[in-house]
């Protein structure tokens, strides 16, 4: 089974080829235009996808050393994501599948992030827990099998990625700010400043409160010293990152104990954060967990993970028809 996968949920245009469960190419074209605006502009993202999708697909096929006539199915991200961006990928996939007279496979973006762990060794054993963390999602997922997942905890307001982005914006760091916070945090004191940790019921999260607290913290300190941010940027980033990671892992630790699970994974764009990766490894050694952290190239949005998810769906014969349409708020 040879599958071409397309990812276009936000601001990365990507295409990948998977053959019998082995990834043969994974091409990603990022969109630098959004840096100018300090965040993703949906209309600009849609237009950039239209420009990138044909070259990206062509390169994915060439890298895999196949032609479109070798394809057995076309997979695409159906949702969740930006409607305009999803439309580009969905429309392209439908047209190509129709022209080649081969089936379509619709993929859930966040489920694909979880299944990115099966691209390379080592692979987690079922059942396992996966903390999916990105700009739009923060979830603890109980994974029974490739196609049987359950959200057992999630944010009730903002995602942790939004908290990182808002922190960066308040510090006047350029977009995307998350990697810069990570960079400064490596050289700062994570215990210098304290920020509040909101306790939610069960395994759920909340990050809106810490964003507001950080805003008030900056207003208070800069009123006393206008150069406060410039003089303390490393300690500020380290302290904020330390608090966010502590919030994330506190609930993950609780979930692992509650479900008696030792195989623990992370996925999504924020899983590229070096502080989170290091702290999860440390916690895993302390508690005897088997920790699974994806390669950096599979943390951010990419078609390789869409291809992996499509492979599992194809094995079960789960295809979709030409009447499919994108779902920006696609449920699990």
**Residues making up the binding site for Fe cation:** 109, 113, 301
In angstroms, the CA 236 to CA 141 distance is 31
In angstroms, the CA 126 to CA 291 distance is 13
- Which parts of 46-114 are beta strand (E)? 73-79, 104-108
Angstrom distances, CA of residue 80 to CA of 144, 208, 222? 22, 21, 39
Q: Which residues are annotated as a binding site?
A: 109, 113, 132-136, 165, 178, 182, 273, 301
Q: Select from 98, 115, 24, 319 the least CA-distant residue to 16.
A: 24
If one counts every other C-beta atom within 10 angstroms of the C-beta of residue 166, the result is 19
Q: Which residues are annotated as a binding site for substrate?
A: 132-136, 165, 178, 182, 273
Q: What is the DSSP string of 92-148?
A: HHHHHHHHHT--EEEEEHHHHHHHGGGSSSS-PPSSEEEEEE-SS-EEEEEEEETTE
The tokens for 280 are 């999860």
């Amino acid at each position: 089974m040879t599958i071409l996968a397309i990812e276009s949920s936000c601001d990365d245009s990507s295409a990948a080829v998977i053959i019998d469960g082995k990834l043969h190419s994974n091409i990603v074209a990022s969109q630098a235009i959004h840096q100018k605006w300090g965040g993703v502009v949906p209309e600009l993202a849609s237009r950039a996808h239209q420009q990138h999708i044909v070259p990206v697909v062509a390169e994915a096929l060439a890298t895999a050393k196949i032609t479109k006539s070798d394809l057995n199915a076309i997979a695409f991200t159906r949702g969740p994501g930006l409607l305009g961006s999803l439309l580009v990928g969905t429309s392209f996939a439908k047209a190509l599948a129709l022209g080649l007279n081969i089936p379509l496979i619709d993929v859930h973006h966040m489920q694909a992030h979880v299944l990115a762990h099966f691209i390379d060794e080592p692979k987690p054993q079922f059942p396992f827990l996966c903390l999916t963390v990105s700009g739009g999602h923060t979830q603890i997922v109980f994974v029974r099998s490739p196609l049987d997942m359950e959200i057992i905890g999630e944010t009730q307001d903002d995602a942790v990625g939004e908290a990182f982005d808002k922190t960066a914006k308040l510090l006047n760091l350029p977009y995307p700010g998350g990697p810069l916070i990570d960079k400064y945090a490596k050289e700062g004191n994570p215990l210098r400043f304290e920020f509040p940790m909101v306790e939610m019921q069960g395994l759920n999260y909340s990050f809106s409160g810490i964003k507001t607290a950080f805003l008030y913290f900056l207003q208070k300190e800069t009123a006393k010293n206008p150069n406060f941010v410039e003089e303390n940027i490393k300690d500020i980033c380290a302290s904020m990152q330390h608090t966010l990671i502590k919030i994330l892992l506190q609930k993950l630790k609780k979930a692992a104990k509650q479900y008696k699970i030792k195989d623990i994974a992370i996925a999504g764009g924020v899983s590229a954060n070096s502080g989170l990766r290091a702290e999860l490894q440390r916690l895993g050694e302390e508690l005897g967990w088997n920790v699974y952290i994806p390669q950096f190239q599979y943390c951010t949005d990419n078609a390789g993970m869409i291809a992996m998810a499509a492979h599992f769906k194809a094995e079960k014969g789960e295809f979709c028809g030409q009447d499919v349409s994108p779902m920006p708020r696609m449920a699990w």
